[in-house]
């Protein structure tokens, strides 16, 4: 599901899935997405990091035709700060 998120882009399905696997996921590989394909900008990465309570490794997988931009890293940093605040 998360691997194919760039094809689905359905946040309701995405959040349901993340809520079900969040406690067990330790490694996550994130594929960069086109910002223009998302209504919420890159907010999804912050929400994802806050839901994956057992996450230990985050791998970013780039796409030569996709430029993530500053917004992606801003939301990723917010998610990582949220994790650090909770002692994760």
User: Which residues are within 8 A (CB) of 40 and not within 5 positions of it... i.e. 6 or more apart?
Assistant: 11
Whether the predicted pLDDT of 10 surpasses 70:
no
Return the DSSP state at 55.
Answer: -
What is the residue range of 57's domain? Answer: 5-85
Overall domain count for the chain: 1
The tens digit of pLDDT for each residue in 42-55 reads 777 888 888 888 88
Whole-model pTM: value is 0.69
Nearest to 72 by CA among 64, 85, 80: 80
Return the DSSP state at 59.
Answer: E
């Amino acid at each position: 599901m998360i691997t194919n998120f760039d094809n689905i882009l359905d946040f309701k399905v995405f959040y349901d899935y993340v809520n079900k696997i969040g406690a067990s996921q330790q490694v996550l590989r994130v594929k960069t997405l086109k910002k223009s394909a998302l209504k919420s900008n890159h907010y999804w990465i912050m929400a994802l990091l806050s839901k994956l309570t057992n996450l230990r490794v985050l791998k970013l997988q780039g796409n030569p035709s996709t430029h993530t931009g500053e917004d992606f890293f801003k939301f990723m940093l917010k998610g990582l700060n949220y994790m650090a605040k909770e002692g994760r």
